[in-house]
Amino acid sequence: MALIVAGPLLGVAFGQVFTSLRETVKDTVSKVCQFKPILERLQSTLDRLAPMVDQMVELSEKLDLPERETKRLKEHMEEGVKLVRKCLTVRWWNYVFKFKYSSKLKDLDDEIIRYCWLDLIAQCARNGLMTLENSQNMTRMLKILMNREIPRPVSCAVRERTEFTVGLDMTIRELKTLLLKEKVRLLLLTAPGGCGKTKLVEMLCQDEQIKGTSKYCLHIVEVIYGASTFKENILFVTVSKTPNVKVIVQNLFSHKGLQPKFEIQSEENAIDQLLQLLENIGPDPILLILDDVWQESLPEKFEFNIPNYKIIATSRIAFPRFKNFRYNLKPLNKKDAMTLFCHSAELQDESSNIPEKDIKKMDDEEVKFEVYYGGTFLWNPSLEYFNRKVEIVDKNPNRLSYFEIEGICEELGIDEPSRVHYLAPGGNLEQDLRLIEDDIDMVSMSKLNEGGPRDTIILYVESGHAPLAIEVPNEVG
């Protein structure tokens, strides 16, 4: 909301005219006896106003405000200067001019007094009310800003990992080797939730060969891979399910101690300014970590044709379009998992006091997936799945996630995009198919099968992104 600025009571030009009139009257009053009474009266008025006029003129000049509402009085005062000077030319016997000029001088004095008593007081009252209105408007605006949740910049630095880890040394080496390949520009690290994807990339960023903290390691990287390390240009961003690209880009600017050239108003504008930021912090290699990605299209928004610029995206979803440069993080083996469990539980001598037979039982427990794929849903007259193939796949129920479902599809050679449905126990295709889209659906599926009459989960794989196909064979009338 634009603030209303009241004009000054008296401007600089008015002050100059006022001073000129006052000095002229002072210089003339003692030289013309016939006009002395009225000139003394006018001089007294001007002398009393002079200190206030000087102060208001000084304030107006400091505020650099335009002159308003004094034009008419200023013109009369300019005429008054000329009139006072003419008084010097009037002879004592010329009563006509004496009466005429005296009347004009009296009118000038009356107008100055009238302006001070009426116009100036009214302007002061009006300006005071306008100032009060502006103050109230500013108070309301401040209250709105104070109540508004202003997002604080989030650090894009990599957290230093100090906690206990096990079983990731080989994984770090494999991931590092894949990342440093010249043709790899966007690498997807995928695994079920809780497998340690975030921890793994944080450990990777602390690696001497990646961070460049060792001159020897720096030389080895340049010799073997022909690339420099990322040094201070490692940027870590947590994405989550509902990413805000504008906020992400603003946080990246803040992390580097910079500001966008223009206010970020849209996602497209954010991406354009991110490109300028990346070009500005180069030419050293840049590594951008996008952690916890849920949307397949998001990582590609951050892709740019910049030399030595790489992206690692972590996700529990194995996005099909990144299958050429994807690293599937496997769960820990039994020995490493038990070591980590004992450490986390602060157990001594790696003894969990859990009977070996129970541990073996948990490790050997499996659930069967009866997978129907390669077919089509048709009404005949009820809904059926035609031209199908069937495979039985065993999986550990303690490791079930949406990632595992995608893994089953890969094992069966299903490369094209597909939708996977599960059949509720004892249900039929028409009413009891449930679409699997994420880990929440996996939890629902597991709960439906808990304590059921069978240990087999039935899956139906439907090709394409379209909703469940319902087709009618030609021979059905």
Chain centroid offset of residue 283 CA: 26
Confidence (pLDDT) at 76: 72
Angle (deg, nearest 10), helices 245-255 and 267-281: 20
- Domain extent, residue 97, equals 12-147
Report which DSSP code applies to 115. I
CB contact at 8 A, 314 and 189: yes
* Same domain? 76 vs 108: yes
From the number of C-beta atoms within 10 Å of its C-beta (0-12, 13-18, 19+), residue 259 rates as exposed
User: How far is 397 from 357, CA to CA, in rounded Å?
Assistant: 18
The answer, yes or no, to whether residue 225 has pLDDT greater than 50, is no
User: How far is 241 from 257, CA to CA, in rounded Å?
Assistant: 27
Q: With the CA atoms of 214, 219, 221 and 222 taken in that order, what torsion angle do they form, in degrees rounded to the nearest 10?
A: 140
Higher pLDDT, 96 or 408: 408
Position 473 in a domain: no
Look up the CATH number of the domain holding residue 420: 3.10.20.90
Contacts of 49 (CB under 8 A, 6+ apart): 18, 112, 116
Position 6 in a domain: no
Position 160 in a domain: no
Instruction: Give me the percent of the chain exceeding a pLDDT of 70.
Output: 74
* Same domain? 232 vs 84: no
CB contact at 8 A, 179 and 288: no
* Same domain? 138 vs 201: no
* Same domain? 17 vs 53: yes
- Phi, psi (deg, nearest 5) at residue 309: -110, 120
* Same domain? 187 vs 324: yes
Higher pLDDT, 260 or 215: 260
Angle (deg, nearest 10), helices 36-63 and 95-114: 40
Tens digit of pLDDT for each residue in 356-375? 555 555 555 567 888 898 88
Torsion 402-328-320-295 (CA) sign? positive
Rounded to an integer, the average pLDDT of 270-277 is: 89
Tens digit of pLDDT for each residue in 7-57? 344 555 767 777 888 888 887 887 777 777 888 888 888 788 777 777 766
Confidence (pLDDT) at 302: 92
* Confidence band of 352 (pLDDT split at 50, 70, 90): low
* Confidence band of 312 (pLDDT split at 50, 70, 90): very high
* Same domain? 386 vs 297: no
Q: Count the helix, strand and coil residues of the chain and give each as a percent rounded to the nearest 5.
A: 50, 15, 35
In 3-119, alpha helices (H): 12-28, 36-63, 71-87, 95-114
Kind of pairing, strands 383-386 and 376-379? antiparallel
As a whole number, the mean pLDDT across the chain is 75
pTM across the whole model: 0.50
Position 357 in a domain: no
* Same domain? 187 vs 316: yes
Confidence (pLDDT) at 73: 65
Q: Which of 147, 182, 216 is the last residue before a domain boundary?
A: 147
Sheet of 456-463: strands edge to edge?
A: 389-395, 367-373, 456-463, 418-423, 433-436
Q: Which of 271, 305, 328 is the last residue before a domain boundary?
A: 328
User: How far is 306 from 186, CA to CA, in rounded Å?
Assistant: 12
Tens digit of pLDDT for each residue in 58-76? 666 655 555 555 566 677 7
Position 359 in a domain: no
Cα(first)–Cα(last) distance of the chain, in Å?
70
* Confidence band of 314 (pLDDT split at 50, 70, 90): very high
Rounded to an integer, the average pLDDT of 228-235 is: 76
* Confidence band of 454 (pLDDT split at 50, 70, 90): low
Number of structural domains found in the chain: 3
Q: Which two tokens stand for residue 464?
A: 């394409």
* Same domain? 104 vs 138: yes
Position 82 in a domain: yes
* Same domain? 117 vs 220: no
CB contact at 8 A, 436 and 400: no
3-state secondary structure of 313: strand
* Same domain? 374 vs 236: no
The answer, yes or no, to whether residue 160 has pLDDT greater than 80, is no
Contacts of 180 (CB under 8 A, 6+ apart): 209, 221, 225, 227
Look up the CATH number of the domain holding residue 191: 3.40.50.300
User: How far is 357 from 359, CA to CA, in rounded Å?
Assistant: 5
User: How far is 63 from 54, CA to CA, in rounded Å?
Assistant: 15
Position 316 in a domain: yes
Position 341 in a domain: no
Tens digit of pLDDT for each residue in 75-126? 777 787 888 887 877 777 777 777 787 888 888 878 777 777 776 677 677 7
Rounded to an integer, the average pLDDT of 240-262 is: 85
* Same domain? 191 vs 320: yes
* Same domain? 142 vs 180: no
